[in-house]
Structure 1
Amino acid sequence: MNTYIAPLRDMQFVMTELASLDKALINPVDYPILIGYVCGGWQMAGAALAASISNAAGDDRDFDLAKIATAHFYADRILPTTSALLETIRSGASAALG
């Protein structure tokens, strides 16, 4: 579970570190992609939680299991790319601004 939560914790760094306009402008592409991936993970986690509650209640089991599987796929395949984007953001400003 920590693997899935780490990108959310790292966002605190991004929000405080990029308070400087110069640093924010160095990464005009990576930053929005990172935000999108992390927000997508947040939405997927919420959907998986709702699906697990629904599944426990005996509602649409096939839909719920598919929703949970999709959230696991997102967490395993998409969220790990946030680490690379975060490193690019962290190092990009120092390399460009000297």
Structure 2
Amino acid sequence: MPYVITQACIDVMDKSCMEECPADCIYEGDRMLYIQPDECVECGRCEPVCPQISIFHHEDLPEESKHFERVNAEFFTLGAQPLGSPGGARKVGQVGHDHPEVGA
């Protein structure tokens, strides 16, 4: 997973990153945004536009945020109807749930 959205996005969701992402790989949960790891092209355009400083390249994740690499990936595989890799957030819209660690 190239880029990861972390806890600073929870309950803020500025969405500047969604506007900047050319791959349309940033999906909206109820409380935070998530990067689909298979769709991210690792361009890095999302990272500098985030006013909460919640996006990091996976190799640069702060120690206290490393588990968000797993949280972002699992968001697309958990639930009764997993999203998988739908090929673009715009056509999906707001997902309506979060990863259990975020929704709690």
Task: Tell me if TM exceeds 0.5.
Answer: no
**TM range, smaller chain:** under 0.3
Structure with the higher fraction of residues in strand conformation: 2
Max Rg structure: 1
